[in-house]
Structures are given as structure tokens and as C-alpha cells.
Structure 1
Amino acid sequence: MTQRNDSPVPSSKRRKGPGPVAWTFLGLGAGAAVGSAAAGVIGGLATLFAREVVTPGKAPVEDVEILALISTPRGQEVVLPVTQETTKPGTYSLWFDGDRGHARLGEVTERSDAEGTLQREVITVDRGDLGAARRGRLGGNVYLSPADLGLDFSEVQVPVSAGQAPAWLIPGSTRSDTWAIMIHGRGANRLEALRALPVAHDAGLTSLVVSYRNDGDAPEVNNGRYGLGTTEWRDVDSAIGYAISQGARDVVLFGWSMGGAIALQVADRSQHRTRVQALVLDGPAVNWFDILEHQAKINKIPYVSGRLGTWLLTHPWGKKITGLTAPLDLASLDWVSRAEQLRVPTLILHSKDDDFVPFASSAELAAKNPAKVDLVAFTQAGHVREWNVDPKAWDDAVSDWLESMFAAPIPGLAPLPR
């Protein structure tokens, strides 16, 4: 579920987990103690858990009722039920009509707890008839194209091992030979990275917003299963090669969620890793052991099933069950244990209430390697919506940090132009 190539992790650094003998004993013990039916439940839940982790999801559920679209003196506003998600501050997307429709929503303008409703500003309806919509879903991807940000861009094709991976290329200015390569997360696509384009553009960087295997845009490989960073990094490595062929001297990798795991693998294993100047990671997956344990817990999967599911992902015996073509080296993705091996300056932006990727892992990584890792904490954002909750704070944090990186000389490279 992650990507590692040429820097094997010393065995002393690997997160220890039960081996096949231990799991066999566990299974037999469970069967003897509670009967074969209970053991079957444990194994069945483990199988479902393991498959879910590496299988791209189906169409997301439209779980928000759209009560009305109204005109006010402030402009158009949408009426929604009061929920934990609809009340969050910031700017969001509202997808509707099976994702054929898309609107950009602003802040809450009115709220009636007595009626259980609220109103949010409708910034724009990009496509579809919002007035006819009755259900939708909120998301973090508020832009559909670099054009929505007023940026010139071109659609390019990055050669990867299985064919061509589409990407958006946005020209830079004062630092055009430094490329910001932007990597979306699990279950997302290139839209997730668009929010970072203004910061990169203002810094004068050229930006390349990439796709990678099994994300719905790039070619499908490995039975369509996620590698959690262990395989996807190769496509980003190819993107760096493409950037170099187009005049890039060095790169800054941006990564969201699993895109953070991918970026860390690129910085560690890529043939172009000496070109990687810095990492900007949002809600990054820096330790999949902790993520899987957390996800099993919040989804009420028994502890034994969760551990067995993790083992299925990492052992050759689990391939037929998970659909993976090779087991995943999750230890290579555990950057909390590998903290001292992270040698690239890294900025992490992470919300303390992230319900998918635990904030504690990012905090622990920053504490273990303060010389290389800076952590900016957010609240109320959940998973990878730090920008949505407070775009100014996100933009300022990234902009200021990048400027500090550009001011420092890069080993082996001449100082970047100001």
C-alpha cells in the first residue's frame, strides 16, 4: 500500500506485527474458543477490511438533503439541514445529480436551530441545475480546472510504465525552473490539488498537477488496486523525469493524504530524489499501521480482524484475497519509525480532528525530526480540508515556508533566483 524502491528499511526500524505462525495460532485459538462460526466472522471481517483498503471506492453517496435554493439580498443561497458537516466554516463544493452538477459554496449566512436548517452562500454553479437538485454531497474540491483560478494551463501527457497519465501544466514566472508537482490522495483525483495552485503561482513556480495509476485518469495496473504509495510513486517519478525534460532543475512535491505517502516515497526512492528540494504535505499518511488501526477502531472492526486484515495486506498469502499482485511493504511507509531518515525539508499541515489519518502521527514525526519537519496544526477541518476551513492561514503558512526554503541554498544546486 505504499511505495519503496532502493532504500530498504533496517529490520530494527520495522514495525513488528504477528507473523503467519502467530496468525495461524490466533485463528485456531479463536476457532477452539468460540467456535468455527466466530472464527469465520473474524476472518470475513479481516478480508473485507483488507480489500476495502486497496480497492478504489464506488461512487460516493449523496448524503446531504438540498432543501431549497433561494434568492436573498446577499445573492443566491442554498438551504441545508444542520449537521456536523454542513456547519463547518469555509468554502466547499456541493456535488449533485450523480456528480454531474457542481456548485461552490461559501460561509453559513443564517442558521435556525429551531428548524434545524441553515443557509450557505452560493458562490457559483459551475454546472447542472442546483434548483432542481434534492440531494448532494459536500466536498473539498471547489475548483474544476486551473481556469477557475484564472490561470493559463495546458493538458499534457506524462509517459508512465502503463501508458500516458494526464496532467495539468501551469507555467511559472520568476522561479519557472522549480516545479511544484502536486499529488492527490486516495479516492480523489487531480481536482484535490487545484487549491494549492495560487500559492505556487505567486511563488513563481511552474506547477504540474499529476494523475497516477488506478485513480480513474491514469492507466490501470496491478488489478486496479492501490499500493498506498508503494507503487504509485513510480508514476510521480516519471512526472519528475518529464519535468526535467521540459527544463525543470528541481522540484517541490505537494501531497494530500495518500499523496503525502507517495511524495515521501519519491523523496526516498526516486532516481531523481536529489532534485526534490522540499515537501508540502496536507493530512499526510505518514504511518499506515496507525491509520489501519484507527480505521478498524472507528469502523467497529474487532481488533483481531483488523490485525489480520493488515497482515493479509503485507503477506504473499493474502494476495488472492486482496487482489494485490504483490504484498505491501507497510514498514517502508512508517515515517514515524523512520523519522531520522527523512532528510528533505518538510511542511505538514494537519487538522487535529482528522477522522481518517490521525494527527498524532504527524505530530510525532515532527517531534522526532524537528530539524526537517515543520507542523502547522488546524482545527475543525477533518481530513484534508485545512484549506477549505481557513484558506488564508493555509496559503500564508505554505507561502512563508516556501520563501524560507528558497532563501536557503540547496546542497549541490546554485541559489534560486529571487
Structure 2
Amino acid sequence: MLAAGPGRPVNRFKAALLASAAAVAALPLLAGPLIRAQATDAAQSRRLVPVRGHGHGHGQQDSRMYLDFDPAGFAAHPGRLSMRAASGGELIVLGPPVLEPPAAIHATPHRALPGQPLRGLRRAVERGDPARVLRDGKGQLSGHLGETPADFGFRYEDVQIGGLPAWVIPAEGPGDVWVIHVHGLGSSRSQCLRGVRAFSRLGYTSLLPSYRTSLDLPGRQRRSHLGVSEWTEIEAARRYALACGARRIIFVGWSLGASIVARVLQESPDGSTAGALLVSPALDWPAIITAHLRKAGCPEFAARWLPSTVNILRPRGEPVIRWHQMPGVTMQSYPATPTMILHGSDDQSVPVELSRIFASRHLASVQLIEFAGAHHTLEWNSAPALWDEAVTAWCHSLGLAGEHSIEDFSEAK
């Protein structure tokens, strides 16, 4: 055994210091590609929610089938939601959550799934067959309430823009205002369908384009460029609308779609743009990444620095992402376009505080409306009447006359 001489503690300290320095030097090499992969992942979310039981109401007032969920989980989110079985299949539409007292639950025909406790949160099945969900015992909940415009009772046309599919939902009468709806990351055109009716009742035509990472595209690109490249496909949609007779255009961007819309406004300014409606907008990507790192327990100084490493060991074919050039990141680079932001107060993906900061720095052009208790891109689901009223008032403030008025309606037929 070697004796510990006077110099050995110093040598050990040097070795530990060198190891620490090597770890710090390697951190961007490891963290940069991981952060980039997570931030640009265009795959569909696989958050599955268990179904605790099911049954039927009784009596003449409501005999619909219902599903039971954990009252403390995502299923308690306000408003209508949809569910797809873990193994796939059709989308079923579920009514708003109802908290039932234990006595009421036991008084109705009810069957708990094997091994599941009886719970008190119910959602009625409004459309679709839940048999597959019940076989799987779980499914994916989302805010999508239909897969095509027909599910909402809309007449529509399938068109191609630059080789990519799009839907056109024409106005009921003559009109030259077009609304271009841009979906978010890991989603598809159907995400935007909830927001169409408010514009349709104002007499506007809606265009719902796809872009390279849209989930409904065969052979789609698996990694998003966070708007750096995708904006050209939405600019092509604008040119299509103008060629079809549009004179004034409103953009509606959901989550990442807001980044893409802001990029279009920055890179290709056009006098036809009347305004931009941004829903749960993902505009300041470094701040969004920092917020997620902090939530995961990363120290604040590292969480603020690590987003700058995303271009280290960049995969071949992937573009350089220059944060300082992205609209909304530096705040001052956002175009002076009339803008309304709709953002849920309980958004866990894009903190609502970022929209508050953004609106406070653009008081002359940006209006923010918060939806109490709404999660990411679920503003419409939580309060459809507030959404419709806000959209209608904002469109009138832009000087865009509408022929129709907002009336009560069933969100999904």
C-alpha cells in the first residue's frame, strides 16, 4: 500500500478539478443535442389517461353513456375534450366534466374497470363509440373535437398548396377576408378547427394549411425547425389566398404556429395582413426552454445558458437556430401588427407570464386575454363563449365588417 505523502491531497484536488472542468466542457456537447431534440420533437404526445369506469345515465333527461376518470387528473380540465384509445381508433367526443357525489355514483348503473377504484368525475360520451377505449382501459385526451371540418358541420374543399394538403372552408356569402389557421408542434390541421366558427359567423373564409411536420402528412419530417424553415409554407398559403380573391388576411397561430406566423410577418411583410391571433403562443423559445429546465431542477444560471448550446453538434441537414433573429425572442423584433393573444392561466408548456411580458412591451399593438384554468391550447375548450366574444370584438376593432353575429351553437356536431 502506498503511503499518503504531503503532495497526495493536492494531487487529488487537481484531479478532481480537472474532472470537474472536463464535465463542464462536455456539458454543452451533451446538453445541446438533447435540448434541440426535445424542443424540436414533432411527434404526437403520448400522455395516456386511465378510464376508471363507465355506465349509462337513466331517466328521460339523460341516458347517455359516460366514462369515469380520476377527479385530480387532466380529465378534470374544464370544457369538452376528446379521447382516442391507447391502441388507436376513432376519436370520441366527451362532454364537460361533472363531479358526482358518491351516493349519486352508486345510485346509477356503473361498472368499474378491473382493479380500478370508483371515482366521482364523469364525462358523457357525446359522439363516437368508446368500446375500444374501454378495452384498452386508457386513452389520450386532447382538445381536438373533430378530425375534419365535416365534424363541425362545415362545407369545405380539399386543396393542394405547394404539394401539401389544405382545407378551405368558404364563407357563406361574398367576402374578401381570409383567415389562415396554423397548427402547433406535434399536431395537425384538426387542432385549429375549434376556432373556425367564430370567423365563419363573421363571413370570413378559413384556410387550414399543413406544413412539413403536420401529423396528417405521410412521410412527414420528424424534426421541427421552430419556424426557421416552416414559415415559407405558410407564406405560400397566403399567396394562395390572395390568388383566390382575398384582400385582407388574418393569421391564427397555435403554440409553435404563433412562431411561424410571427416569422411570416417578419420575413415577408405584406399590406394584406389585417392582424394576428396567437393562441398559447410559443414566441420566446429560450425562455420556454429555460422554464422547463428550471422545472426539472436545473440551476437557474445553467438553465438560462443551456439554450445557447442548441447549435453544438447540430445534426446534418438541420438549420442553425439563431434565437436573436426570431420574432418575439428579443421582443423588439416583433412586427407592429395588430395582435390578440389568448392564453390559459394554467399553461404548463408555455408559461402565461411570457405572454404578459410580451404584451406589456407592445402595448400599442398587442392585446392579451387570459383564460382562467386553461392548459396549453385549451383556451377554446375551457370557455368557448369568451373565445367567440373576444374574436368578434377584435375583428370589429380591425375594421373588418362582419355580416353575421355570434349565436349559441354546438361545438361539434
TM class, shorter-chain normalised? 0.7 to 0.9
Which SS does the other structure have where 2:165 is aligned?
strand
Q: How does 1:3-402 map onto structure 2 within 5 Å?
A: 32=18, 34=20, 36=22, 40=26, 43-57=29-43, 59-73=44-58, 74=62, 75-112=64-101, 115-125=118-128, 129-159=132-162, 164-174=163-173, 176-218=175-217, 224-270=222-268, 273-301=270-298, 306=303, 309-313=306-310, 315=311, 317-320=312-315, 325-335=318-328, 337-339=330-332, 341-402=334-395
1:361 and 1:94 map into 2 onto residues whose CA distance is 30
Inter-partner Cα distance in structure 2 for 1:214 and 1:143 = 20
- Whole-Å Cα distance in 2 between the matches of residues 318 and 30 of structure 1? 27
Aligned-residue offset at 1:305: 5.9
Aligned CA RMSD, in angstroms, stands at 2.8
Contact 1:45 1:301 in 2 (8 A): no
User: Is contact 1:100-1:127 (8 Å) kept?
Assistant: no
Cα distance change of structure 1 residues 165 and 349 upon mapping to structure 2, 3 Å threshold: same
Q: Deviations over 1:221-270 (max 9, x none)?
A: 8x642111121111000011111221212210001001011111111212
| SS of residue paired to 1:363 | helix
Q: Which amino acid aligns with 2:297?
A: K
Question: What is the TM-score normalised by the length of structure 1?
Answer: 0.81
Taking the aligned partners of 1:256 and 1:174, their CA distance within structure 2 comes to 27
Deviations 1:153-194 (A, max 9, x none): 0111111xxxx1111110113463211000001111111100
Runs of 4+ more than 6 Å apart: 415-418
The match for 1:11 is none
User: Which structure carries more relative contact order (alpha carbon 8 Å, separation 6+)?
Assistant: 1
Unaligned runs of 5+ in 2: 1-14, 103-116, 405-413
Count of matched residue pairs: 372
Q: 1: distance between equivalents of 2:137 and 2:218?
A: 34
Deviations 1:328-383, CA, capped at 9 Å, x for gaps: 12222252633475211001001122111121121112112111111101121111
| Counterpart code for 2:160 | Q
Of residues 236-245 and 362-371 in structure 1, the stretch that sits farther from structure 2 once superposed is 362-371
Q: Distance in 1 between matches of 2:305 and 2:258?
A: 25
2:92 is paired with a residue whose SS is: strand
Q: CA 1:324–1:175 in structure 2 vs 1: closer, same or farther (change >3 Å)? A: farther
Instruction: Give TM-score, length-normalised by structure 2.
Output: 0.82
| Deviation at residue 122 of structure 1 after TM alignment | 1.4
Computing the radius of gyration from Cα coordinates, the structure with the larger value is 2
Matching residue of 1:16: none
